[in-house]
Structure 1
Amino acid sequence: MHAPRTRVQRRPVHGVLLLDKPLGLSSNDALQKAKWLLRAEKAGHTGTLDPLATGVLPLCFGAATKFSQLQLDAPKTYEAVALLGTTTTTGDAEGDVIARRPVVLAELTPERLAAVQQQFTGPIRQVPPMHSALKKDGKALYEYARAGIEVERPARDVVIHSLSLTLLADNPDAIALKMVVQCSKGTYIRTLGEDVGAALGFGAHLTFLRRIDTGGIGVERCVTLAQLEAMEEGARLSQLEPPESLLAQHVRVTLDSENAARFLSGVRRRGTWPDAGAVAVFGDSPPALLGVGHIVGGELVPDRLLSPLEIQQILEGTPHLQASGTLEKL
């Protein structure tokens, strides 16, 4: 007989786990694993990272899920390796080979690389790959691709903020490009690798992809699932950053107790603040995040608010703030 499975007792957990996603795991699988390890009630990720990619994947728990869209919209930075001379059905090493061409090293001059680098820097248009999670008529494109069906995909506007191409020619049988790309949301690095390879005249597919930054969060700040699993429960919780860690680019406004209470009720507050499109709002006693809003014409307008219960739970989970007071003082 099999021993009965132990039911995990879930609990409210609030914060952001900066995960270095492993190779081969989907973003949702990584999220569910971390959620189980933290015994968290509510969790969400900040946009998918390809299973064949590693790197920065901020995971949001509890109150932090209210701000996950901000990271979804943030610029991303990737390191990738594109093997020249071979194109595949998926744009990466998992696909079937479509074509091979001999790579002429003499043609890959610094001037040629600089010209292609310039060609793909700035606003560009991309046709999304068939092997992607983008939906058509409620069905992911990769489902059509697996069924051998090619569907029309309109080109999309994306922005390549910066692009660096470095030739890797140590192995004459595997000449490749190292790509470092900072780009807008919605950019497909596999497609960029294919397009760069085509522009060079040889074709290419990705053999390596790693996200090293998203919205100013670098991979050096991240923890792996293996590291998290090896920790005791208290150490796992200590890896969480507060929900406001997602709001580093927001203007900070602090309200006194009376105005904080009204703001939490969804009421606009008036002040001498300059206009601002993104504001992180805090109470002053205790110093607790209340939510986000924007300022127009001297009015602070609530956009997304934490609940009083969420704020109380965050304070109770932050020992150095417990002595400062409780939610009743807001």
Structure 2
Amino acid sequence: MPDLPAAANRAAWVSDAIRLLDADANRSADTHLHVFPLPVEWGIDLYLKDESVHPTGSLKHRLARSLILYALVNGRVGPGTVLVEASSGSTAVSEAYFARMLGLDFVTVVPRSTSREKVELIEFYGGRCHYVDDASAMYAEAERLAAECGGHYLDQFSFAERATDWRGNNNIADSVFQQLTAERYPVPSWIVVSAGTGGTSATFGRYVRYRRHATRIAVVDPENSAFYGGWKTGDPQYTTGRSGRIEGIGRPRVEPSFVPGVIDEMIQVPDAASIAAIRLLRARTLHWAGGSTGTNLYGAFELIARMRAAGETGSVVTLICDGGARYAHTYYDDDWVAGQGLDLAPHTARMERFLETGEWA
């Protein structure tokens, strides 16, 4: 017979865990929607949804909460469950924060190349990092660790697209559209996001279709990432077998949470362009952001230039995914950039010319 007192204790613990996660959400005010300065006469507005102001400093705060809630309500996590993840950094930072809140142990498998700042944040929240030399080995190693300790593999790459309620419930898409209601173009022409798990593009893409908006979804992809090739060829097994420099986005394989059917356009962005874009962002707005934000911004500029060329007006929304302090020793370090063989100058010149003329050379 089942141990009824033990089952009741587990149910009470799960109920309180969900309360704690909901309380954290209630304490965290919605993130800001900044305006990027463009000439008023263009008739185009560019907004930056600033996800860096979450308690754990990135867009992944939303995902981590959703993944843990999903595991709780599906009966996969209880008192004493070890939480395991495969993450290049930001998701693990947020999951470590929530694991500590619930009194659970957390271990994440990360590539050895993960930035020092992210590793320190994971450890600050009580998490432990387990390193692999090959990023493609993360998934199997995380599964092995979870099985070995009887824990639960959160598996962001499989569950990101389903853990978040895309119909509303204050998800990121609903938040953006609510914040735009008083703007001159409240329904954006484009939403531009990058893909790390595919969950964010899936949420936005499903939401705009469900709400019957005319908004199009563009996904920007860095060098060595498989998402663009998988979308272009229609091959869900497409791989590059290579890791990228832009942490948090781009994967060597097409992840299970990537939903190509909700995407209207994909744009490949050189790594040097992503880094040049975050430096330009800091110079123009004082917002200090990570590399994935640069990928987003570069793609947004290209789409706005297309709108200008076509005589279109409207709004474009993209994301500040995380803060730049996490990359002080990489993307903002001239020696590191030079050591990677990257030349930012041509991309900086292209963006400066775009901001002066509206043209994308």
The TM-score normalised by the length of structure 1 is: 0.26
| Highest RCO, 1 vs 2 (Cα 8 Å, sep ≥ 6) | 1
Q: Which has the higher helix share?
A: 2
Greater strand share, 1 or 2? 1
**TM-score scaled to structure 2, two decimals?**
0.24
Name the larger-Rg structure: 1
